[in-house]
Copies of this chain bind each other. A is one copy, B any other.
């Protein structure tokens, strides 16, 4: 990054209109408030326009609307400044991984199949029959169980555990210390004791999924636990056995989904949501933070609460919970007035 890029190149990269000095050298990215000479920044919202006068940035990515009212600054004008800025960030500070190569300090079973141009650090453990695709990156401490499969261009960060038979797609990212394929939590209880039900199924993580740090995804009892293509999972999320999550869904930190629940496409589970087992959430639902979903959600929409309500109804009910002391007082007042009326 030390060398930087000319502003002209960045404007072309994002298909933006350049206003100002196209030869300006950009060497870094920063927030509006922290940017200094050499940095490029962006404005996500009109209300931050006031920072334009004082920012030290050498260039700013803005919308046409904001561009109109700014003078004397180098601007890249685009319809979606945040998206354009994200592309510029990737260009200026590309994510780098260790160069291709297999550390002699990694433990790789001779029966494993390893693709080309992989990067495997010291301390990686690959069990028998595992298949690792091309250009896969495995950081130190990654454990890959028997016959597990890792698709091309997937990146697995340090200390992740992938249990046997799990199937991880292409271009998947799994962050540090997550666990894929741990046994589902299944017992048959008899006389107060719990007998383990073998968990002989597996986990399928489809292409373009991203999984945060310290996430746990359990293998199915039989069949598969499935995370659909393009779905993104935040840190410390629990996905139980036989759960199916559709495509392009979002599961925010510390949410948990119980066994055999089926989540649709483009669903958002906000932070700390709980979803009970054996139910369905249909496509395009948004479940508010900390909600408990304890029965199926059949119509798309926004829902919140414990128990779950349509979001607007929940807001109204919660406002009234806070007013319960006044409701109680009013009730007593009415009763006293009734008492007086009845005595007459």
Contact = CB atoms under 8 A, between A and B. Distances in A.
Interface residues of A, number: 108
A123 interface: yes
B194 A250 contact: yes
A10 to B, nearest CB: 14
Interface stretch (A19-27, A47-55, A112-120, A327-335): A327-335
A82 interface: yes
A110 to B, nearest CB: 13
Contacts of A159: 141, 143, 159, 161, 177
A320 B331 contact: no
Contacts of A212: 182-183, 185, 216
A321 B321 contact: yes
Interface string A11-36: 00000000000000000011100100
A82 B159 CA distance: 36
A125 B143 contact: no
B337 A188 contact: no
Contact of A86 (B197, B252, B342): B197
Interface in A171-199: 173, 175-179, 182-183, 185, 187-188, 190, 192-198
A230 interface: yes
With a 10 A CB-CB cut-off, give which of A141, A240, A337 has the most chain B CB atoms: A141
Contact of A232 (B176, B185, B216): B185
A272 B255 CA distance: 9
Nearest to A320: B324
B143 A141 contact: yes
Given A123-B123, A289-B294, A143 B223 contact: no
A218 interface: yes
Interface in A305-336: 306-307, 309, 313, 316-318, 320-325, 327-328, 330-331, 334-335
B175 A179 contact: yes
Given A89-B197, A236-B238, A29 B253 contact: no
Contact of A89 (B145, B157, B200, B292): B200
A214 interface: yes
Interface in A72-91: 80, 82-83, 86, 89-90
Contacts of A163: 157, 176
Nearest to A272: B274
A318 B292 CA distance: 13
Contact of A248 (B103, B175, B193): B193
A290 interface: yes
B317 A232 contact: no
Contact of A30 (B105, B146, B222, B338): B222
A254 B327 CA distance: 35
B122 A140 contact: no
Contact of A200 (B29, B320, B325, B338): B29
Contacts of A123: 107, 123, 125, 141
A226 interface: no
A290 B307 CA distance: 10
Contacts of A309: 322
A214 B236 CA distance: 9
6 nearest A-B residue pairs (beta carbon): A161-B176, A320-B324, A143-B158, A125-B140, A182-B213, A216-B235
